Amino acid sequence: MTTKRTTPAALKTALGPLWKIYSDDTVTGIFIDAFDEVYYFQRQGSKAEPKSAPKLFKSSKDLEAMVGRVVRYAGKKLDASTKSIYLNLDESTRVQIVLPPMAVKGPAISIHKIPMKHLTLDDLIQFKALDSEGKALILECIDRGRGVLVAGNHGSGKTTLLNTLVHAIPDPQRVVTIERFADLVVGRDKVCRLQTANQSAEELVELVALAERMHPDYLVAANFEGPEVMPFLEAARSSCSAMGLITGDNPLDAFRRLETKAVLSSEGMSLEEARYAISQSFHHLIFQEKRGDKGRLVSSIAEIVYDAGELKLKFVYQR
């Protein structure tokens, strides 16, 4: 299922010289480090290749003018105290702007275009990121309402995997997502999405409390930041199933990062108590990794076992 990307005339005017690159559906991201340093990633098959853009802006003032137009288009305002700003241009485009003096060479801009196709587990099999055995294990976990922790190294496509898992949650279950930035692309009904107002990590704690009162069957954390981790675990183990995402170089590293965030976000809870809370909320860890030229794939699925104060991984699937 693919959702058509909206292209209002006002956005074309706001982006100005950047429009031609932006409107190319094969372009996945645009990065501006200075007015004369613009590059983008263009999808070629299963990979996205970096390319340098031709000279689009005559000067930093030209780039600053575009920033002003884009900010106004998004309904935001800049003032003398603004150092950076995060914008949604539409349901599938996220923009991060860092302003001088924090950005030394003029406004620095990152534009991320989220793929509009709602991927399924079958799509992952087609891309060779998963096989039928892995699909069966994942569906069994979700059908049983088991808590699933998604992890992966940088650039592995773990957010796309999380989107796919949320899509696989069977109806009529209700899903509530907690997002610092609205990065998920969810292709199912009965999803309530909550996003922070000012993109601060602390606001996530408030979102967890709000989400719990909305009676979700699955509570989904788009990315574990820190302060919200223990409140999330407490909500999940007492009232609903959980899905969450965390970065890690390998399954054990992801686990250790979550343990640390859980302890730091609790009020004096010991490491053993934090581990027990994790084990009650998450029952399986699905790890996706980027393997150089071999692409991205779900490399392991493990059961999470609490044993005498320790968390252990019992691998049931490996590639």
**CATH 3.40.50.300 region(s) of the chain?**
121-318
Residues 29, 114: Cα–Cα separation, whole Å: 9
Q: Which amino acid is at 145?
A: G
In this prediction, residues 294-312 reach a mean pLDDT of: 91
State phi, psi for 72 to the nearest 5 degrees: -65, -40
- Just give the CATH number of 9-113: 3.30.450.90
**CATH 3.30.450.90 region(s) of the chain?**
9-113
Cβ contact 258:246 at 8 Å:
yes
pLDDT at 125 over 50: yes
User: Residue 4: what pLDDT?
Assistant: 45
Apex 33 CA angle, 30 and 37, nearest 5: 85
Q: What is the pLDDT of residues 25-47, one digit of tens each?
A: 889 899 999 999 999 999 876 56
User: Residue 234: what pLDDT?
Assistant: 96
Superfamily designation of domain 121-318? P-loop containing nucleotide triphosphate hydrolases (3.40.50.300)
**E strands in the chain:** 27-34, 37-44, 47-52, 84-90, 93-98, 108-113, 148-152, 175-179, 191-195, 218-221, 241-247, 284-290, 296-307, 310-318
pLDDT at 6 over 70: no
CA count, 13 A, side-chain hemisphere, 262: 23
Q: What is the pLDDT of residues 88-109, one digit of tens each?
A: 888 778 899 999 999 999 999 9
Of residues 6 and 296, the one with the higher pLDDT is 296
pLDDT at 1 over 60: no
pTM (2 decimals)? 0.82
In this prediction, residues 41-69 reach a mean pLDDT of: 88
CA dihedral 250, 319, 186, 126 (to 10 degrees): 150
